[in-house]
Amino acid sequence: MNHNHPVFTDNDPQSELVTLNLGPTHPATHGVFQNVLQLDGERIVSGVSTIGYIHRAFEKIAEHRPFYQITPLTDRLNYCSSPINNMGWHMTVEKLLNIQMPKRVDYLRVIIMELSRIADHIICNTIIGQDTGATTTFLYLFQFREHIYEIFEEVCGARLTTNIGRIGGFERDFNEVAFTKINKFLKEFPVALKEFENLLTRNRIFIDRTAGVAEVTKETALEYSWTGPLLRATGVDYDVRVSDPYSSYQDFDFDVPVGTSGDIYDRYLVRNEEMWQSVRIIEQALVKLKTEPKGIFHADVPEFYLPPKQEVYNNMEALIYHFKIVMGEIDAPKAEVYHAVEGGNGELGFYLINDGGRTPYRLHFRRPSFINYQMFAPMSEGMLLSDAIINMSSMNIIAGELDA
């Protein structure tokens, strides 16, 4: 066995350094990963990150599964905002197959994706509050994640591992209850978010713990390929929704919030503002939906869109297509496609190589958490341990995305 991990020794009698294993499972870390930190008192001298504890070989499994069966793999990457992952994958396949979506489907997708972005940011921001000692914020805002999950449940029947949608649209139309719940959410959530901001944004303790902590410059962030709220907090105006609009984001009017110093406080502010912008996008989408003909929830592509089960029982065509799709005999072009969506943590990319077989020849996930997290250990050096914990929660590391 050859373990090349650096081993910290304190043979030197003068040495006062303490080695601390933070993780693999530790109540203060947000997932299963290890940080071996060397501490001088409370201050971190150096650190080494180890990941891979929940590596599930998704890329290998994807090579053995037809397109439809890859969907459940994607929503297990970032389980805090799984619909974005689902739809990112579906849009990748649609790009490969050159499927044009009806506008109504695009708007419905935007609603779901923005709701899951809000859910993701709620978790991250309330946890920052929690880690700085403000449990109240967590209790106030966290119920709205529950309300979002109830909307998901109404749309697809599942809450966490959602599997929303199909290649070419949705499995079924949104019912009236779903729209009622979305409207109720839009009415109640801004009030609570305002209250949440009142509790934290001008809070002296919160500012003292976060402002000026873990500052990252623009240049460093780009050098380390950061994306998402972390990159925007440093002042780089990059959002996949604006720079490479997918689905129908070009039809919406929204701002991309940016920070200035890239510290934890800025990341918190950027995420908060993004929640406001998401609410704005959903409101616009609901207005746009009114002018679209009702009852359209998928594109007219029977050879790729999995037919509803009721039709499979009663319609020969549907049965044939169902069989062909389930057996993975979709006639997809031999091509390579890279498609990126703005996930909760940043650019979530799918690199798909199709060689005409039943399964993808190669599928690679560009996972934002994996790439963002690489900077955690270097940036922790010189930081207090208690600050490093808040830094970790502000990076919103999702262990599922870290490992794939």
Partner 1 sequence: MEETTLNNNIHLQLTEKFGEKITAVSEPYGLLSFVTYKDVIINVLSHLKEELKFNFLTDITAVHYPGKDHGIAVVYHLHNMVEKVRVRIKVFISEQNPTIPTATSVWKGANWMERETYDLFGVQFEGHPDLRRILNMDDLGVHPMLKQYPLEDPNRVDKKDEFFGR
- Residues forming contacts to partner 1 in the complex (CB under 8 A) are 1-5, 51-52, 55, 57, 59-61, 63-64, 95, 222-226, 236, 238, 243-244, 335-338, 340, 347, 349, 351, 353, 361-362, 364, 366, 370-371, 374, 403-404
Query: What's the closest the beta carbon of residue 337 comes to partner 1, in angstroms?
Result: 5
Peptide bond into 6 cis (omega under 30): no
Rounded Cα distance, 254 and 99, in Å: 26
Map residue 50 onto helix, strand or coil: strand
Residue 79: closest CA among 404, 403, 400: 400
Query: What's the closest the beta carbon of residue 225 comes to partner 1, in angstroms?
Result: 4
Query: What's the closest the beta carbon of residue 355 comes to partner 1, in angstroms?
Result: 10
Tokens (6 digits) for 126: 């309330």
Residue 23: closest CA among 379, 372, 373: 373
Query: What's the closest the beta carbon of residue 237 comes to partner 1, in angstroms?
Result: 9
Residue 26 or 65 with smaller CB distance to partner 1? 65
Residue 222 or 289 with smaller CB distance to partner 1? 222
Residue 199 or 353 with smaller CB distance to partner 1? 353
Residue 115 or 330 with smaller CB distance to partner 1? 330
Residue 101 or 111 with smaller CB distance to partner 1? 101
Residue 90: closest CA among 76, 108, 70: 70
Instruction: Give buried/exposed letters for 193-214 (b at 16+ CB in 10 A, else e).
Output: beebbebbeebeebeebbeebb
Residue 57 or 177 with smaller CB distance to partner 1? 57
Residue 93: closest CA among 374, 371, 352: 352
Query: What's the closest the beta carbon of residue 310 comes to partner 1, in angstroms?
Result: 32
Residue 116: closest CA among 398, 390, 305: 398
Type of residue found at 398: I
Rounded Cα distance, 284 and 286, in Å: 5
Query: What's the closest the beta carbon of residue 363 comes to partner 1, in angstroms?
Result: 10
Q: Are 107 and 292 in contact (CB under 8 A)?
A: yes
Residue 196 or 226 with smaller CB distance to partner 1? 226
- H or E element in which residue 248 lies: none
DSSP letter for 307, please: P
Query: What's the closest the beta carbon of residue 362 comes to partner 1, in angstroms?
Result: 5
DSSP of 212-229: TSS---HHHHHHTT--HH
Phi, psi at 39, each rounded to 5°: -110, 135
Tokens (6 digits) for 154: 């109404």
Residue 94 or 266 with smaller CB distance to partner 1? 94
Q: Across 294-361, where does the E strand assignment appear? A: 335-342, 347-354
Residue 9 or 98 with smaller CB distance to partner 1? 98
Residue 29 or 272 with smaller CB distance to partner 1? 29
Map residue 236 onto helix, strand or coil: coil
Within 10 angstroms of residue 23's Cβ, the number of other Cβ atoms is 19
Rounded Cα distance, 404 and 54, in Å: 8
Map residue 349 onto helix, strand or coil: strand
Query: What's the closest the beta carbon of residue 16 comes to partner 1, in angstroms?
Result: 27
Residue 44 or 363 with smaller CB distance to partner 1? 363
Query: What's the closest the beta carbon of residue 191 comes to partner 1, in angstroms?
Result: 36
Query: What's the closest the beta carbon of residue 348 comes to partner 1, in angstroms?
Result: 11
Query: What's the closest the beta carbon of residue 404 comes to partner 1, in angstroms?
Result: 8
